Amino acid sequence: METLGIQSLLMLLVGFYLLIKGAGLLIEGASGLAQKIGLSDLTIALTVVAFGTSAPELGINVMSVFSNNLDLAVGNIIGSNITNLTLVLGIAGLGGAINMHGKTVWKEIPMLILISVLMLILASDHSLGDGWTPHFSLADGLTFLLFFFFFLGYIISGAIEDKGKVSAEGLVQPLPLWKAILWLISGIIALTIGGRWIVDVSSLIAETFNIAEGIIGLTIVALGTSLPELATSVVAIWRKKPDIAIGNLVGSNIFNIAWVLGITVLIRPVYINKYLLDDMYWMIGAGLILFVFTMLSRGATHTLKRWHSLLLLLFYLIFMFNLYLKL
């Protein structure tokens, strides 16, 4: 049996680098192609960028399914979503208040909560009989994808309606066609290799320290795959584009469940350990807390205040402590 050593840890670090670099190349390449087609900057930001920042999760999950590391795949989704809404948004908000429009508060965040609740229901809707194991069936995967295409239609129609009001300038750059194609292909290759290495080393860590693969997915892998969201959101806040920062995080979380998990389940039914159901409640709770914080703000623009961000970071620390108690 292979043992955990310096080589394995280097593979993990290089794997995360390839994953993040691959996501960046994928965003640049896809954005370049989208601009050649004539899509607006906002449409690119809400679709291509959200796709790109969810690409690491997709790469990890596809490799996990083919390697029969199913808990790692689901733990990655849950952990990434919690990390995005608490750690990433909390860090992004430390620099000051984040303003967002009512549409994000009253439509997009509730959609995220809805798909999170749907994930919990579909995982636990076969609870009759002894020996029940939570799982996602082929029908569940199709349900996730149906929700995904509904959400995709919603954000595209919204982007067309808001064209000219919000720009993604500075987040996506024009590229020559040949470079866009090269970046796109390179990104896919980097994501594939990086995802493969991370899955292999994560399984080795779980085996070496006798830690459940789902816990590894909820922590190490989730943190690594959330780095693109962190980078994108911080840059967006720095460039005074809070709508795109929040939209990236909320959109990526919806993509993680509806798109990434949907594709994962289409490859094969996903059976998971029951303890991951508890973590889904934490995921739903993170969305509800964000909704309450922003809903309580009055006026045309809703505000996520700095002390809200500190509480989101506290939520993340409590979640991590809860996982520690499961070890």
pLDDT in tens, 153-198: 887 787 666 555 555 555 556 678 888 889 878 887 887 788 888 8
Give the C-alpha separation, 243 to 100, whole Å.
6
Give Cα 183 to chain centroid, integer Å.
22
Place of tokens 């292979």: 2
Task: Retrieve residue 128's tokens.
Answer: 């009759």
Please compute Rg for the chain using Cα positions.
19
Cβ atoms of 75 and 214 closer than 8 Å: yes
pLDDT in tens, 30-49: 777 767 776 655 566 566 66
For the chain, percent helix, then strand, then coil, each to nearest 5?
80, 5, 15
pLDDT in tens, 225-255: 887 777 777 777 776 767 667 777 888 899 9
Q: Considering only the C-alpha atoms of the chain, give the largest distance between any 2 of them, rounded to a whole number of Å.
A: 61
Place of tokens 């990526």: 252
**Quick one: CA dihedral 305, 306, 309, 311, positive or negative?**
negative
Q: Domain coordinates of the chain in residue numbers?
A: 6-326
CATH number of 6-326: 1.20.1420.30
Give the C-alpha separation, 142 to 318, whole Å.
34
Q: Closest Cα partner for 116 from 281, 260, 268?
A: 281
Place of tokens 């962190």: 230
> What is the secondary structure of 186-237 as a DSSP string?
HHHHHHHHHHHHHHHHHHHHHHHHT--HHHHIIIIIHHHHTHHHHHHHHHHH
Type and span of the H or E element at 271: strand 270-271
pLDDT in tens, 274-318: 889 999 999 999 999 999 998 886 655 688 889 999 999 999 999
The proportion of the chain whose per-residue pLDDT surpasses 90, expressed as a percent, equals 33
Q: Is 203 helix (H, G, I), strand (E, B) or coil?
A: helix
pLDDT score recorded for residue 280: 97
pLDDT score recorded for residue 74: 94
In terms of pLDDT, which residue wins out, 19 or 212? 212
